Amino acid sequence: MTSGSGEDGKKYAWQSWPSDSLEGMPPKRRRLVVWGLLWLMFLNFVLRSALDAAGIPEPWLSVAFAAVVAAVFVPLIRGVVSETRALRAEGVHVPTDIITRKSLIVASVMNGALWIVFAIFAFLGEFVFPLVPIACTVWLAFHVRHWRSVPR
DSSP state, residue 95: P
What does the alpha-carbon distance between residue 58 and residue 52 come to, in Å, rounded to a whole number?
9
Closest by alpha carbon to 96, among 149, 132, 41?
149
**What are 95-133's pLDDT values in tens digits?**
666 778 888 999 999 999 999 999 999 999 887 878 888
Closest by alpha carbon to 137, among 111, 116, 114?
111
What does the alpha-carbon distance between residue 150 and residue 152 come to, in Å, rounded to a whole number?
6
Q: Report whether pLDDT(9) > 70.
A: no
Whether the full predicted model's pTM is greater than 0.75, yes or no, is no
* Region of residue 55 (phi > 0: left; psi between -120 and 50: alpha; otherwise: beta): left
**Most confident range, picked from 27-31, 51-55, 106-110, 132-136:** 106-110
Phi, psi values for residue 6, rounded to 5°: 90, 20
pLDDT band at 89 (very low <50, low <70, confident <90, very high): confident
What does the alpha-carbon distance between residue 55 and residue 39 come to, in Å, rounded to a whole number?
22
Domain boundaries, the chain: 1-96, 97-152
Residue type, 50: A
